[in-house]
Amino acid sequence: MNQKQLSYFLEVYRCRNIQAAADKLYLTHQGLSRVIRSLEEELGSPLFSRINRGVEPTDFATTLVPHVQRLLDDYATIQGVHTLTSQARSVVTIYALDHLFGYLGADLLLDFHRQHPEITLSILDTTDEYALESLSAGRCDLAVVNGPIDNTRFTATPLFYSRFAFRMLRDHPLAQKEHLSFEDFAGETILGKGRAYHCFRTNIDQFMLSQGLHVTVPIETPDESLLQQLVEAGLGIATTYDFTAVSHCGENTVVRYLDDDRAGHHIYLVEKAGTLPTRAGRAFKQFLLDKVTE
């Protein structure tokens, strides 16, 4: 199978109709059908069943979709690396907990560029788990995420400690307290980044729900600007890390912290264990460590 076959398969899967997919791909109905048949023969299993209004994906096709998407993403990454390599530049790909590099600031990136103009930094904001999964799969060179880190799979260097923070309206009763306990949030409406983030699961599942505290979670989103709007609209209290809470706080909101030794995580620069970093990767690692210790 090849990249073309996989991309055609995904388009038919999305459209549920051979002709509609063929129109989007600028192919004939017959030509696209031949590609799908060829792929089915190679895989040894049907991908679609004919129905009155088009096609219905088989269970096998549905199972394949995330794997096919991942392969196509990898193709795109390889093509991007090839394009940059042709420009005689080194690339360091970093998957980081979202908003973290916004917190570290543009000046840090500008300083690195001045010192290493031959290196391109490719930074992707994502979840902590996806960053580590991508690092393990070789999709990135470095990850910058919260702990804990599996030391059997990764090598982690601590950068700084980040506290859990809660953003709320200035006139909220809990805003009158300088420090909070998890018990203070019993009965409250909590907004947050979502269960794909370890910090959110820690706050909600480990320290609240498992302790018998009832909280309502109506909306989960990683968009800090949207969370700020929801807080200002009076929907609830937003939970996040301190490095995003302060930067997204408005005139009518305040940030409060937990008075609890467990209320935070270390942020780490992470490499895949047993791999030799590139020269460009080593340069950025040393630069970042020097900056955070200044």
- Taking only the tens place, the pLDDT of each residue in 77-122 is 777 665 555 554 689 999 999 889 998 999 999 999 999 999 999 9
- Same domain as 153, residue 90: yes
- Same domain as 42, residue 19: yes
- Same domain as 166, residue 199: yes
- Same domain as 255, residue 134: no
Last residue of a domain, one of 19, 53, 76: 76
> The domain spanning residue 58 has which CATH number?
1.10.10.10
Last residue of a domain, one of 76, 100, 118: 76
- Same domain as 151, residue 109: yes
Three-class SS state of 287: helix
pLDDT confidence band for 76 (50 / 70 / 90): confident
- Same domain as 131, residue 185: no
Structure-block tokens of residue 201 = 């699961």
- Same domain as 154, residue 65: no
Q: Return d(Cα 238, Cα 6) in angstroms, integer.
A: 41
> The domain spanning residue 94 has which CATH number?
3.40.190.10
- Same domain as 36, residue 129: no
The strand pairing partners of 266, in sequence order, are 161
Q: Return d(Cα 37, Cα 1) in angstroms, integer.
A: 12
Q: Residue 132 sits in which domain range?
A: 82-160+267-292
pLDDT, mean of residues 132-142: 92
pLDDT of residue 272: 94
Model confidence over 204-261: pLDDT tens digits?
Answer: 777 787 788 888 989 988 888 899 999 999 999 998 888 888 777 888 999 998 877 6
- Same domain as 286, residue 204: no
- Same domain as 99, residue 33: no
What are the two backbone dihedrals, phi and then psi, of residue 160, each rounded to the nearest 5 degrees? -165, 170
Q: Going along 98-212, which residue ranges are E strands?
A: 119-126, 142-146, 154-169, 179-180, 190-192
- Same domain as 174, residue 57: no
The structural domain count of the chain equals 3
Q: Return d(Cα 35, Cα 29) in angstroms, integer.
A: 10
Which one is predicted more confidently, 52 or 106? 106
Contact 94, 144 (CB under 8 A): yes
Model confidence over 264-294: pLDDT tens digits?
Answer: 889 999 999 988 888 999 999 999 999 988 7
- Same domain as 260, residue 180: yes
Last residue of a domain, one of 25, 47, 76: 76
